[in-house]
Amino acid sequence: MTDLLSRPLKLPCGATLSNRLAKAPLTEGLADEHNRANEKLVRLYECWSEGGAGLLVSGNVHVDRRYLERPGNVAIDNNGGLEWIRAYAKAGTRAGNHFWMQINHPGRQGAVTRDGTFPAPSAISLNVPGRPEFVPRVMPEEEILDVIRRFAFVATTARECGFTGVQVHSAHGYLLSSFLSGLSNTRTDAWGGSLRNRARALLETVRAVRKAVGPDFPVSVKLNSSDFQKGGFTNEECLEVVRWLGEEKIDLLEITGGNYEQLPWLEDVKPSTQRREGYFLDYAKQIRTVATMPLMITGGMRTRGGMEEALRSGGMDVIGLGRPMCVDTDICKRLLAGDTDAAVSYEGALPVDPREIAAGATDDEAKALEMWTNLVWFFVQIWRIGEGQGPKADMTALEAYRIYRETEDRQTAMLAPL
């Protein structure tokens, strides 16, 4: 029995997490053609609920079916299927753990658009080698306000359907995160310019969500400690935003970093480049000095010693695990019971040769593809669990990539018209 990891955590709203381990949000890509939940998500979350974590955070659930991060995202925008959202919530809480819904809008990082546009703070294209270039559509103010209302609507629905908390996704370059960055937000109105203005979309969203769910319901935010880009959201800016989030009385801040243009937790995949544990821990320790809310650190946390250290001397409150959960769904239970000392870093051993997929790729394209194939290997593991096949740890990256391409192309083609 590991005391530190097993200690319950009382949140500011009054709710209690039964231990310090969390499944980080992992996009599932399992929804149906109306972006509704289904039996596959139920199966997946039953499995994760039994896995021992005190907290599960869902993969990003979208506020608008027109703009998706992936074709198989769950969305909640009057598209029906609430009985499945209830079943999904029930599955994810079946072992008595917390299950929070992560709420998101992809902004310019969307992969699916049903109206031919991707709305964003400014008309600044995403710069990812090999990804088709498009210029995002600038959101008028009424659309920003509409998105904020949608976040609140999804949060209300989550609560009504049995989720035990919500998380606002404001990291990794998606819409709210792109508002924070001076690189992707060059607006000159009340939603851009000063940091206070760039943070307005996030802060008003959090305020609307809190108002919608009430004071006794966990509200969390996922935030970049930094974008790690010149001119992007910096660590100093993050510290200021964390102070403001403290005034909004949030219950848990999940700390991460990067965006599609610069994603440290995905780049750091080779054993030779693996540094010490916890990609964002140094940043998180600085955040601790200004944060009034509990903190969750996600990214590269793998050993029990490292996790305990982050809790003990790093001032963290919850440890988020992402990729290990895609294969070893019971890893939290085993860590808590003392049956194992570490989660496996599958990302460190994936054999990827991007030239097998794209022979003529430039070096930059090959690097981006290498990162992407590393990610989709985990997508495919999640699909397999949802479909009842179980994970397949010895799957090659190439095999996973082919399954991924074929499945997402089919899902995209099958999406129901609005």
Ligand X SMILES: Cc1cc2nc3c(=O)[nH]c(=O)nc-3n(C[C@H](O)[C@H](O)[C@H](O)COP(=O)(O)O)c2cc1C
Among 112-120, 239-247, 298-306, 307-315, the segment contacting ligand X (CB under 6 A):
298-306
CA–CA distance, 249 with 13 (Å, rounded to integer): 8
Q: Which helix (H) or strand (E) holds 167?
A: strand 165-170
Near ligand X by CB under 6 A: residue from 21, 26, 120, 154: 26
Nearest approach, Cβ of residue 331 and ligand X (Å): 10
**143-172: contacts with ligand X (CB under 6 A):** 169, 171
- Binding-site member from 52, 300, 306, 354 for ligand X (CB under 6 A): 300
Q: What is the DSSP string of 329-382?
A: TTHHHHHHHTS-SB---GGGS----GGGT-TT--HHHHHHHHHHHHHHHHHHHH
Q: Which pairing describes strands 137-138 and 295-298: parallel, antiparallel, or unpaired?
A: unpaired
From residue 249 to residue 268, the character string flagging contacts with ligand X as x (rule: CB under 6 A) and all else as - is -------x--------x---
Residue 24 found at the interface with ligand X (CB under 6 A): yes
Question: Which residues face 320 on adjacent strands?
Answer: 22, 298
Q: Is 378 in the site for ligand X (CB under 6 A)?
A: yes
Q: Which two tokens stand for residue 6?
A: 């097993």
Indicate whether 375 belongs to the interface with ligand X (CB under 6 A).
yes
Structure tokens belonging to residue 7:
């200690």
Between 26 and 242, name the residue whose CB sits nearer to ligand X. Answer: 26
Which of these ranges, 111-119, 142-150, 288-296, 317-325, lies near ligand X under the rule CB under 6 A?
317-325
CB of 9 to ligand X, least distance (A): 19
| Whole-number Å distance between alpha carbons of 410 and 116 | 19
**What are residue 102's DSSP bridge partners?**
167
Binding-site member from 25, 72, 107, 278 for ligand X (CB under 6 A): 25
Contact 45, 336 (CB under 8 A): no
Q: Which is nearer to ligand X, 25 or 386 (CB)?
A: 25
Q: Tell which residue, 282, 286, 217, 222, has the closest CA to residue 254.
A: 222
Please give the Cα distance from 140 to 134 (Å, whole number).
Answer: 18
Of 316, 250, 212, 251, the C-alpha closest to 16 is: 251
102 binds ligand X per the rule CB under 6 A: yes
Among 18, 19, 27, 177, binds ligand X (CB under 6 A): 27
For the beta carbon of residue 312, count every other beta carbon within 10 angstroms. 10
* Contact region with ligand X (CB under 6 A), list: 1-9, 285-293, 372-380, 396-404: 372-380
Closest residue (Cβ) to ligand X? 322
User: Given the rule CB under 6 A, which residues bind ligand X?
Assistant: 24-27, 59-60, 102, 169, 171, 222, 256, 265, 298-300, 321-323, 375, 378-379
